[in-house]
Amino acid sequence: MTNSSERHVPVLFKEAIDLLRVNPDGTYVDCTVGLGGHAEGIVRRLGPGGRLIGFDRDPEALALAKARLDRVAGELGSRAPKVTLIGDAFSSIVRHVEPGSVDGLLADLGVSSLQFDEGRRGFSFQADGPLDMRMDTRSGPTAAQVVNEASERELADLIYEYGEERRSRTVARAIVRGRPITTTGQLARIVASAVPPMKGQRIHPATRTFQALRIHVNRELDEIRALLEAAPQLLKPSARLAVISFHSLEDRIAKDSLREGAKQGIWTILTRKPVTAGEEEMERNPRSRSAKLRAAEKAASSD
């Protein structure tokens, strides 16, 4: 019987795997292995001479991905490639992966379904739970510590920068007045009362504040920048990079990095415009609506 992680199909699955152009004997890195959906797709295209390296800093996600990939390896038998899973942030990739050894690298950014759906992880206001938001629950400050200890100015700045919330000062003022705040539901109610939905707004008023706190707590944008900076030295000539982002800050970093690399002769961009989900996928998985996939190929002579 399969568990929820094995039923889960990640966004832009076929498009991402196709763009990686998997060589059965190649080495591929899934920087955000999550529940193992993309990783399984790569593994099934690899042969016994191939290798998948998967990163995730969430121990729960890594355990579920391992169970899923072990099952796939059992199905494939002697045709199974080597799989190595690493419990660390993908910004640490240069410490674990040999330069010039990778045929393809995939990064599916943002929050995994496991994190988002579990109220106790504190990522979402859909289910009330402790205000945590850490992808790695073993270290670092929680979102509760941030909202309760940061100054009003600091809160306003991070909500504006990472949440692109134009009413950030109003939100920060309400948060400070409402402290102490310990649960996702409490924070969502405080934000919604301070900044009710504007005309035509389809998202919950707290969405941008939650996004900002999550990005801040997990240092997500710094992680992405570190990965994109390291990618060219890790990839072989003509190897490929694919990045799936879910909000404008992530996508802007990926777009700008690839464009700058293309100007320097490092990358050939494969996606002139980002690949987005089709109507069928958006109907099946509403979270895919905001997904954007960008891909590039390392130049044959960029070393």
Three-state secondary structure call for residue 144? helix
- Torsion sign (Cα): 22, 24, 27, 31: positive
Query: pTM surpassing 0.85?
Result: yes
Q: Do 12 and 101 fall within a single domain? A: yes
pLDDT of residue 10: 87
Q: Do 107 and 232 fall within a single domain? A: yes
Which one-letter amino acid corresponds to residue 130? P
pLDDT of residue 2: 44
The set of residues, in sequence order, having a beta carbon less than 8 Å from that of 300 and lying 6+ positions away, is: 237, 238
Count of the separate structural domains present in the chain: 2
Q: Do 242 and 166 fall within a single domain? A: no
What are the backbone angles phi and psi of residue 237, rounded to the nearest 5°? -55, 140
Q: Which domain holds residue 274?
A: 4-114+220-298
pLDDT of residue 198: 74
Q: Do 23 and 165 fall within a single domain? A: no
Tell me the CATH number at 264.
Answer: 3.40.50.150
CA distance to 60, 90, 226, 236, per residue, from 230 (Å):
26, 10, 6, 12
Residue 303 lies inside a defined structural domain of this protein: no
Question: To which residue do tokens 């990778």 refer?
Answer: 102
Residue 172 lies inside a defined structural domain of this protein: yes
CB 69 within 8 A of CB 39: yes
Parts of the chain with a pLDDT under 70: 1-8, 110-123, 200, 302-303
pLDDT of residue 120: 53
Three-state secondary structure call for residue 273? coil
